[in-house]
Structure 1
Amino acid sequence: MKKYTTIGGVALAATLMLTACGGGTPSGPASQKAEESGGDISKLISVNAKEAKDLEQGGTLTLGVGSIGPDFNGFSNVGNSADNSALMTPVNTASINSGGIGGCWKLDFDGKAEPNKDFCEDVKSEVKDGKQTVTIKINDKATWNDGTPIDVKTFENTWNMLKGEDKSIDIVTAGAYAFVDSVKAGANDKEVIVTTTQPVFPLEGLFFGLIHPAINTPEIFNTGFAGNMHPEWMAGPFKVENYDTTAKTVTMVPNDKWWGQKPVLEKVIWRQMEPSATIAAFKNGEIDAANGRTLGRYKQLEGTTNSEVRRGQRLFAGGLNLNAKRPALSDVAVRKAIFTAVDRKAIRDVRFNGLNWSEESSGSMMLMPFSEYYQDNYPVKDTGADAAKKVLTDAGYTANDKGIMAKDGVPVSFKITNFGDDPTTAATSQTLQKQLQAAGMDVSIDQRGDADFGKVIGGREFDVTISGYTVGPDATDAVKQYYDSATNENGLGDAELDAEIKRLATIADDAERNKAAMEVEKKHMEKYFSMGTVLNGPEIQFVRTGLANYGPSLFKSLSNVPDWTTIGWEKGAKK
């Protein structure tokens, strides 16, 4: 499942935080460029890797986060944000279903999956007569915090909640669970036998995140986590010590019930903060990392005492997120005109000015340009204001007395919802606004705080946002989430594409399957115009000197922490 994510501010929520134009060039590498297919992805990783045994045992790590909650169920639409994933990973490795680790699986830097032996010691698959049997050996010690064993009941409940049959359960996508026929015990309750109605690939599409057996009704799933973290239904190397709703902080300490590797740190503190507040907090030593993804932020953070910069690639795709269920955007011609009006290079120039980062236009929501399976699927080649006006004119729109394109007396009028207080966010939203206005559209800005993100995005309370999703190494899960008519948030699609999506999950060959997924994306984009990639962007982190195993990590971690048990401080560094 792909998480909504931010490009710029402190939050890992969902908006693109893009930079204002400004002079000056930050220090650091003279130039850094996004890697393309076949490139050296090691250039995009920077974590100060150290063995846990070589670090100072103990210490506190304090991080800022754009939003804490308000819903902590990462499997639901309201809880489906990268902020939520980052916050919950240390305390609920069992359930986190995005990023580099979760449930049965963990990813390496390059996106290759292997069993996460803290939970699933072995996963085997056999395909016979068009059916698949998956056998999972669960770690005997694996247990939820409330003492409930992680066994076949957990796996059965995960399937029941996510398979998509009960439409009242607010899941993001059923994904591969829609093809599961049964989940039963094998030799004992710690062996799970999964059978499918058709083969399912990649295998990590199943049980990349587990759901506690007590989360077993639509009511609990949809609303039971509103303002309630439910630590008893978690399992991970840390546990929640305190969730202070007034101070907007969450404090975590090592989990005495954790059976896996013990963490180095003795405490992790998360503080909900607007992006602008993280700058002063980092400079004053109140938090230990802050992103510098915009020029304004970079220049303010640059030169902070006892700090260093770690740079790499952000696993993000997005920029155009259109809510086709809103009246103003229900006409596909309007959505196509938006895609046509956008000058993606101009937006990237605003975003990356002074950051020593360059990239070509990306054309996929599902794969990064450095993926061997990538192809450019952006559906419009002839762009600009005049081309966008022609799209509308051909669809029966004409300019009214105010110069706004209208049809049947109704003008093309909508809002761009912008999150956070980073000035570059406003500058980029305004850049997009001007591009659309030049094409004869009446466009205003709806300004919201970062903390509103989950509510606005999960509740679909927007027309357009400059936002997107995290990107994984394989397109199979994403193609169903984004483009299946029954599961994508806009309800756009058709029977032909749905059949192609269903079929591609049966393809065992990775290259063939991903090629088929990319063709589905190409056809969907050309027909429906609901999401488009403007940019990917860099990951730039200012980090307290001596912090080890933290920074841009590609697929191993979308929240800059490759392993929460090994992050810590070098000896003699800040604790």
Structure 2
Amino acid sequence: MISMKRTAAAGVAVVLSVVLAACGGAPANTGPVDTAESLADKSSFNPQPYENLRDGGTLTTALPEISPQMNVWQTDTTLYSRNVWNWYNPLLTTFTADGDAVYNPDYLTDVKQETVDGNTRVTYTINPKATYNDGTPIDWTSFEAAWKSSNGSDPAYLPASTDGYDRITSVTRGADDRQAVVTFAGVNLWWQGLFNNLIHPKALDPTVFNQGYVNTPHAEWGAGPYTLQKFDPQNGAVVFERNPKWWGKPGKLDTRTFLQMDTVAAVNAFRNGQLDAVAANGKDQLAQVTGVPGTEIRKGPTLQLNFFTLNGQSPILSDPQVRKAILESIDRRQIAEFHFQGLNYSAEPAGSMNLLPFQKGYTDTFSKVIRYDPEQAKRDLDAAGWTVGADGIREKNGQRLQITYVNTGDNAVGKAVAGGTAAMLKNVGVQMDIRQVPTSDFSKIVTGREFDVFYSGVSQGDPYGIAYICQLYCSDSQLIRSGVHDPKNDALIRSVNTLPTPEEQYAKAAEAETAAFATYGFMPTVNLVGIYAVKTGLANSGAGRYFSTSPENIGWQKQG
């Protein structure tokens, strides 16, 4: 399963790759300004074949949070959960920078897709050596467990996404236990985005599925070239070592470590040589890491999109006219400037959360619903009964129009977005108080809906963003916690992926997304650029658009 995952707004994290940071002397912006399109064909992750990696060495990076929910199939998971999960669990499919699927022969010896009686059927043949760490064979029942927990038919499960799995009619045993036959209702164009990970059948019990992985990673239910050496969320550390039970290509690294750090600490740790790679996606961070001896800067497009969420379940924001006015008050071009100032990069505001601006089928649907118009926002608030008080803040029935924005972490860009948004809202008579919390509180804030306004991100895990439209917009969505998704839109949203051609799906998705934006619960802002400072020689890690790889392919390039 690869679906969209939440991220903290200012942090960029590539699956299986790097993380946060900064510290140094500001580079001058010279030459043409980069865009996602201009960087698309430029390799910025030092692609190297397995044979070019040396044996040994360590890799240490930072994460904004060691997320409590370690089951990536469950709804409370984050991108940070997935970064950790992929280092010790089966990873069946990865993607090239151009978005082509790559099947891992250590797990799959054959994948066959065909159309039978108008239905997509996929047959997965599993490597006979494939075994979980507890000795359980990896067989067709793992595919069945993934389907049963994620198809949405049993309300006892809280899956991260039902998209795609809800259209499977059966998962059956093939020629033997080492073959899984997956049959869909009708055509599924994006089937390669499914079953990229597996879940151990022992986790199929709903209580275990929902709660059993919280701060408990279950290394015995994993499989792969690495296994857990240490999992210490209290002190913010996860360490992996080579897995003695692994049957495939061995990992090149001796150990792989994640440390929980906010931005400033991660920058300093990189400069001091304690981290091997760090994200530098703000001008201050980039300035601080540029020129550190023995390092290089890698830059490229990402699959991360930032967005505002308005909590429609909070008293003031329960009024859709107030939510509409707030969205009309926010200048997304200014938000983009906060992100890209000093980075020699430019991007238009994102008009979709379904597809990124550089993807085929992208349409700016958000502008059909909301445009930056403070004067219209003032009129909307007038109509909703909020009148301007003596200090410029609006009031209604003795209550001030006062809301809380929660900002996670010490990232300078995140603070600029928070402060800039507060100023924009004050201009129309809304007082927005900023509550600052550490990035380690990210999951708690989101899952508990402890905010009026929250700025965060989602990251696609594969090239098939349109495949996850229901995860974004259906009324039971747990990804966007606005609480105002309209059940009346569900049938339209769910119809998108039933259509037989990409072009028909793109058109229907634009219609469905327009309806979803009209709930006034969220606002896409910008598709982020990925800029990383890494120690020279780190291979298969950085900014690679759709690129992902399995853990044994990450390590240090041979010298000479």
- TM-score, normalization by structure 2: 0.91
Alignment deviations for residues 498-548 of structure 1 (CA, whole Å, 9 cap, x no partner) = 2223222122322332332233112321x2122222111211101112222
Identity of aligned residues (%): 34
> Do the aligned residues in 2 keep the contact of 1:417 with 1:448 (CA within 8 Å)?
yes
- For 2:292, the equivalent position in structure 1 comes to 304
Give the match for residue 569 of structure 1. Answer: 556
Q: CA 1:324–1:122 in structure 2 vs 1: closer, same or farther (change >3 Å)? A: farther
Does the 8 A contact of 2:227 with 2:243 survive in 1? Answer: yes
Q: 1:529 is aligned with what amino acid?
A: Y
Per mean C-alpha deviation after superposition, the further-off stretch among 197-206 and 186-195 is 197-206
2:79 to 82, 85, 91: 82
2:476 is the counterpart of 1:486: yes
Q: Report SS of the residue matched to 1:259.
A: coil
Structure 2: where are the runs of 5+ without partners? none
Q: Does 1:519 align with 2:511?
A: yes
1:370 corresponds to: 358
Q: Give the equivalent residue in structure 1 for 2:430.
A: 441
- How do 1:468-487 residues align onto structure 2 when only pairs under 5 Å count? 468-471=457-460, 472-487=462-477
CA RMSD of aligned residues (A): 2.7
Shift of 1:321: 1.9
How far apart in 2 are the matches of 1:117 and 1:366? Answer: 31
Which shows bigger deviation, 441-450 or 108-117? 108-117
Question: Size of the alignment, in residue pairs?
Answer: 550
Measured in 1, the distance between the counterparts of 2:413 and 2:120 equals 50
SS for the counterpart of 1:376 is: coil
Cα contact 1:7–1:293 (8 A) shared by 2: no
Q: Distance in 2 between matches of 1:56 and 1:28?
A: 36
Report the AA paired with residue 230 of structure 1: H
State the distance in 2 between where 1:127 and 1:263 align.
37
Residue 56 of structure 1 and its aligned partner are, at CA, apart by 2.2
Alpha-carbon spacing, 1:396–1:486, altered in 2? closer, same or farther (3 Å) = same
Question: Which one-letter code corresponds to 1:451 in the other structure?
Answer: S
Distance 1:428 1:119 in 2: 44
Shift, 1:128, TM fit = 4.3
Change (3 A) 1:207 1:18: closer
Does the CA contact (< 8 Å) of 2:9 and 2:414 recur in 1? no
Alpha-carbon separation, structure 1, partners of 2:312 and 2:63: 30
The code of the aligned residue for 2:532 comes to Q
- Paired AA for residue 41 in structure 1: A
Matched, 1:426 2:427: no
Structure 1 residue 182 and structure 2 residue 170: aligned? Answer: yes
Aligned to 2:55: 57
User: Whole-Å Cα distance in 1 between the matches of residues 404 and 439 of structure 2?
Assistant: 17
Equivalent pair of 2:20/2:263 in contact (CA under 8 Å): no
Separation in 1, partners of 2:217, 2:308:
31
**Matched residues in 1 for 2:400 and 2:115: separation?**
55
Deviation digits for residues 274-322 of structure 1 (CA, Å, limit 9, x no counterpart): 2111111111111101111111111222221211111111221123122
Contact 2:20 2:266 in 1 (8 A): no
User: 1:263 aligns to what?
Assistant: 251
TM-score when normalising by structure 1: 0.89
CA distance in 2, matches of 1:196, 1:54: 41
Query: Cα distance 1:262–1:511, how it changes in 2: closer, same or farther (>3 A)?
Result: farther
The answer to whether structure 1 residue 552 and structure 2 residue 549 are counterparts is no
* Aligned partner (choices 453, 456, 459) of residue 464 of structure 1: 453
Query: 2:135 is matched with which residue: 147, 151, 165?
Result: 147
Cα distance, 1:207 vs structure 2: 1.6
1:451 equivalent to 2:440? Answer yes
Output one character per residue of 1:304-348: Cα deviation in whole Å (capped at 9) or x when no partner: 121111111122112312222333322221221121101111122
Q: Offset at 1:19?
A: 12
Q: Contact 1:549 / 1:563 at 8 angstroms: preserved in 2?
A: no
Q: What is aligned with 2:181?
A: 193
Q: 1:343 to 1:485 in 2, by over 3 A?
A: same
| 1:506 is the counterpart of 2:494 | no
Q: Contact 1:324–1:530 (CA<8 Å) still a contact in 2? A: yes
What amino acid is aligned across from residue 89 of structure 1 in structure 2?
A: N
CA distance in 2, matches of 1:229, 1:124: 32
After superposition, give the CA deviation of every residue in 1:214-262 in whole Å (9 maximum; x if it has no partner): 1122221222112211101112221111223454211111222223322
SS in 1 for 2:436: strand
CA 1:55–1:494 in structure 2 vs 1: closer, same or farther (change >3 Å)? closer
Matched letter for residue 200 of structure 1: N
Aligned to 2:35: 34
- 8 Å Cα contact 2:161/2:468 also seen in 1: no
Of stretches 490-499 and 221-230 in structure 1, the one that deviates more from structure 2 is 490-499
User: Does the Cα contact within 8 Å between 1:9 and 1:420 map onto a contact in 2?
Assistant: no
The whole-number CA distance in structure 1 between the counterparts of 2:469 and 2:215 is 31
| Cα shift at 1:480 | 0.8
List 4+ stretches of structure 1 deviating above 6 A. Answer: 10-13, 17-20
**1:28 Cα shift?**
7.7
C-alpha spacing 1:138/1:27, structure 2 compared with 1 (3 Å): farther
Structure 1 residue 536 and structure 2 residue 527: aligned?
yes
Q: CA separation in 2, counterparts of 1:2 and 1:383? A: 27
Change (3 A) 1:145 1:465: same
- Contact conserved, 1:19 with 1:425, CA < 8 A, in 2? no
> Cα offset for 1:9?
4.0
CA gap of 1:277–1:161, structure 2 versus 1, over 3 A, is same
Post-superposition offset of 1:155: 1.4
Alignment of 1:255-404 (within 5 A): 255-379=243-367, 380=369, 382-404=371-393
Q: 1:120 to 1:392 in 2, by over 3 A?
A: farther
Contact 2:5 2:458 in 1 (8 A): yes
Q: Which amino acid in 2 is paired with 1:59?
A: G
For residue 429 of structure 1, report the CA deviation from its aligned partner. Answer: 0.7
Query: What do residues 556-575 of structure 1 show as CA deviations (whole Å, max 9, x unaligned)?
Result: 23xxxx442122223359xx
Q: The residue matched to 1:370 in structure 2 has which SS?
A: coil
Distance change >3 Å, CA 427–CA 495, structure 1 → 2: closer
SS in 2 for 1:214: helix
Amino acid at match of 2:232: D
| Residue segments in structure 1 that go unaligned for 5+ positions in a row | 95-101
Moved more, 174-183 or 268-277: 174-183
| Residues 419 and 450, structure 1, Cα contact 8 Å, conserved in 2 | yes
